[in-house]
Amino acid sequence: MSSMTSTSRRLGLAALGAALLATAGVTAYATTPGKTDPRPLAGMRILISNDDSMQASKASNSDGLGLYELRRAMCAAGADVVVMAPWQVQSGKGTAVTNGGVLTAQRRTTLPAGYENDCAQAPARGAVYGVCLADGPCTKDSPSATPADTVKLALRAGLKAKAGWTEAPDLVLTGINSGPNVSAQVNDSGTVGAAVAAIDQAVPAIAFSSSGDETNTSFPRVNYRANAEFGARFVAGLRQRGLFTAEFALKVDYPDVSTGTPAGPPRWTSVGHGQVVWHAYEQTGEDSFEIGLGFCEETPGDPCTETVKDADSTALFRDGRIAVAPVTADRTYGVREPHPETLREIRQYVEHDAPRR
């Protein structure tokens, strides 16, 4: 989150607790009662993208570190992973696409320290590509592909050309985003937009986002790691139960665990209608307005106050729970779910059988 202007609103949210899960070592995956499988995702092909870029160079950890934690966890669970992500930060791009020009998918040869060998045993070796809008090599200042661009490129041409995958991956994961994607801001989210691009291509998708610290300007590695390790167990459980679907994407938001209080168990939620993040526009000249981002005040009657009873933001911020919500690409009001049993089964899994933190 960028610095706030004087006109930006602030949300008085207490810092949510959370506890450090293992910061290193092997994760146990209980895919069936009483049994653990050290590689429950073996044989799966997973595409990972995000909207924070693949740079992971900022001290705030806001430009793609979560992507490397997600890559690490999925490879540790046995998956074959390829990353195609925006070259530059593309937060707030939603489902935007680029309609002309040339996209270049450039492989990153030097990975962030500590992540070099995470996927060394996988066939694709966890290859990481940054996608820029350029007819030639990507440079420091090259404009970036959007999150949806990267997924569409990967599924329609990139994975075949770069990884030799002649069939679609089994799953697309997006994130882990620096900051939650809840309530009305879901419509702006490039993390969610990239997941929607995947289900548009009939590939199952899950979008992961992590809360920052109490300032929401820094994103501790421990939050990403806890979310990623939960994510690997969560995906393993879905796979074991045959619950992957492209009828809708799943959105998973993880609370701040950097203060030592563990994440609360997953809650099945709806996308809220409140505006947790408020865009303010302050006039700075006759024709100019500075954009400021801040948190809304949860004041009764305030236009950005949450009104949805089972909102994702309420579960995440008030209760410190992992918030899971289904997101569909169908924007037709009143549309009926063609296979409601799928929704019921996944909800049952989230509420009763999914990892508890």
pLDDT tens column, 328-351: 988 898 888 888 999 999 999 999
Q: Which amino acid is at 250?
A: L
**pLDDT at residue number 263:** 97
For residues 228 and 20, give the distance between their C-alpha atoms in angstroms, rounded to a whole number: 12
For residues 289 and 296, give the distance between their C-alpha atoms in angstroms, rounded to a whole number: 20
The number of beta carbons lying within 10 Å of the beta carbon of residue 189 is 29
Closest by CA position to 323, among listed 267, 240, 250, 276: 267
305 phi and psi angles, rounded to 5 deg? -70, 140
Q: How confident is the model over 101-115, as a mean pLDDT?
A: 97
45 with 169: CB under 8 angstroms?
yes
pLDDT band at 9 (very low <50, low <70, confident <90, very high): very low
pLDDT band at 79 (very low <50, low <70, confident <90, very high): very high
Lowest mean pLDDT among 24-28, 69-73, 87-91, 319-323: 24-28
196 with 249: CB under 8 angstroms?
yes
pLDDT in tens, 136-185: 999 999 999 999 999 999 999 999 999 999 999 999 999 999 999 999 99
**pLDDT at residue number 232:** 98
For the chain, the distance separating the N- and C-terminal CA atoms, rounded to the nearest angstrom, is: 25
Q: Which amino acid is at 198?
A: A
**303's tokens:** 């236009």
Lowest mean pLDDT among 63-77, 165-179, 298-312: 298-312
Residue 254, strand partner residues: 210
Q: How confident is the model over 115-121, as a mean pLDDT?
A: 96
Rg (CA), the chain: 19
220 with 4: CB under 8 angstroms?
no
